[in-house]
Amino acid sequence: MAKKKNIEEPAAKPAGGLFAYAPAPESPAAAGDIATSYGHFIGGEFVDSSGSEALKTVNPATEQVLAEFAQGTDEDVDRAVAAARRAFADWSALPGSERAKYLFRIARIIQERGRELAVLESIDNGKPIRETRDFDIPTVAAWFFYYAGWADKLDYAGYGANPRPLGVAGQVIPWNFPLMMLAWKIAPALATGNTVVLKPAETTPLTALRFADICRQAGLPKGVVNIVTGDGRTGAALTAHPDVNKVAFTGSTPVGRAIAKQLAGSRKKLSLELGGKAANIVFDDAPIDQAVEGIVNGIFFNQGHVCCAGSRLLVQESIQDELLDALKRRMSTLRVGDPLDKNTDIGAINSAAQLARITELTDAGEAEGADRWSPECELPGNGFWFKPTIFTGVSQAHRIAQEEIFGPVLSVLTFRTPDEAVAKANNTPFGLSAGIWTEKGSRILWTANRLKAGVVWANTFNKFDPTSPFGGYKESGYGREGGRHGLEAYLDV
């Protein structure tokens, strides 16, 4: 049998080391059809906007326009809220076990269409396919499965017999985990018997619109889920709408504060999940290699576009050099580039505006005297990119130690004693999350008890599970999402 040789020179030394990974691209076509323009999803139908203004969503890795979508008007919001109101009576009257069937069905369809959703999310958001495939979409399905399980057990959630839903929930979500934030909002709302109007972020509307298609596939009654797209004006119209009973917002602290003001004095129930500036505290007895992984995962996961990102590394001074050497060595192996390549670790920054903000804050860090370091890595020509960056010699007074950067930028501070670590960790207006690295169990408990943060991870970071409540202290917001606690936000209790 004659053989054709394709392996000509396998041992040739390619650029990037002996063992350079060949491109392993996921097919963009797997995202399914992307329409040239989208309207809203209201009352179970895809409908045109009452206005004529359209926005564009781009692939942040290429700057190519993916689709146009409608800028939701006050009238669009009004139609959507009305549709949700009409659907509420029947939906809330369904036995919980019946609502659960729909949620289980949605969860299964998400799993079945997982590849499609993962590719679409990666294209619209810029995050690596490895992350959407292995984290985002499985988490989305898990959230629906989990809350499907609660739907017929609400009597045992701790709020007495037959707790009542609130009515119509207006939900506004950010661009960093578009479909996952949707799941965090919609799954508990539907399980408890509410109907929803959701506004996805203006840079990442596509997976929410695809989710609308999944709702239809699942046979969800019309009007139970409504999606209205647009920018902050649409969001404001939704949160201000008089017939909305519940507002749930995830996003920046300034917008969250504005919503809280807007809703003050109304009977609307509000939950806010806002910014963060988490401290990742590494004690001198930490498991160093795993701590380095946790630091990398804490700040470079999802390009640092994570509200609970471990953006402040607090390292005990006695191991500072050793840890930073190991961290830099590890950062040098991070693969930045095409989000659809299965070997990419860090994808594109979501938007030009976000890239500008990251650039502005890192410039300020340098100007204030902190030392900046990034590994050598080539960035693509088009699109929005930022090298993974660490700042050493940072003090509490620097802007990069205080403000949320929301990018792949880590500020390194040091401490001498556990008391100092806790004092510095808590010295922020935020209080969303924190991390503790030590082999000593008693020190984990001691530290966790003193940290003012909604989530404290011990010897890990950025771990999420639908059974575990998530939410903040102080300017990081209020209310909890996830777990049994997450039901309260959607119940009249």
Partner 1 sequence: MSTVAANAPGVAGSGLQDVAASEASLRRFLHGLPGVDQVGLEARAATLGTRSIKTTAKAYAIDLAISMIDLTTLEGADTVGKVRALCAKGRTPDPTDPTTPRVAAICVYPDMVATAKDALKGTDIQVASVATAFPAGRVALPVKLADTADAVAAGADEIDMVIDRGAFLSGRYFDVYNEIVAVKEACKRADGSYAHLKVIFETGELQTYDNVRRVSWLAMLAGADFIKTSTGKVAVNATPPVTLLMLEAVRDFRAATGVQVGVKPAGGIKTTKDAMKYLVMVNETLGDDWLTPHWFRFGASSLLNDLLMQRQKLATGRYSGPDYVTVD
Q: Which residues bind partner 1 (CB under 8 A)?
A: 1, 3-7, 10-11, 14, 17-24, 130, 134, 285-291, 293-294, 333, 342-343, 439, 459-460
- Residue closer to partner 1 (CB basis): 1 or 93: 1
- Residue closer to partner 1 (CB basis): 163 or 337: 337
Residues 122, 277: Cα–Cα separation, whole Å: 25
Q: How far is the CB of 436 from partner 1 (least distance, A)?
A: 12
Q: Is 111 exposed, middle or buried (0-12, 13-18, 19+ CB in 10 A)?
A: middle
- Nearest Cα neighbor of 184 from 493, 491, 487, 492 is 487
Is residue 273 part of the annotated active site? The answer reads: yes
- Report the DSSP pairing between strands 246-250 and 269-273: parallel
Residues with Cβ within 8 Å of residue 31, at least 6 apart in sequence: 116, 119, 120, 123
- Nearest Cα neighbor of 124 from 270, 253, 229, 236 is 229
- Residue closer to partner 1 (CB basis): 84 or 291: 291
- Residue closer to partner 1 (CB basis): 416 or 463: 463
Residues 409, 363: Cα–Cα separation, whole Å: 12
Q: How far is the CB of 320 from partner 1 (least distance, A)?
A: 15
Q: How many CB atoms lie within 10 A of CB 243?
A: 13
Catalytic residue among 26, 202, 273, 404: 273
Q: How far is CA 280 from the centre of its chain?
A: 19
Q: How far is the CB of 411 from partner 1 (least distance, A)?
A: 22
Q: How far is the CB of 294 from partner 1 (least distance, A)?
A: 7
Q: How far is the CB of 74 from partner 1 (least distance, A)?
A: 46
Q: What single string gives the DSSP state of each residue in 351-405? A: -HHHHHHHHHHHHHHHHTTPEEE----PPPSSS-----EEEES--TTSHHHHS--
Q: How far is CA 298 from the centre of its chain?
A: 13
Catalytic residue among 121, 202, 215, 307: 307
Q: How far is the CB of 114 from partner 1 (least distance, A)?
A: 15
Locate the DSSP E strands across 13-52. Answer: 37-38, 40-42, 45-47
Is the separation of the CB atoms in 492 and 249 below 8 Å? no
Catalytic residues, by residue number, are 273, 307
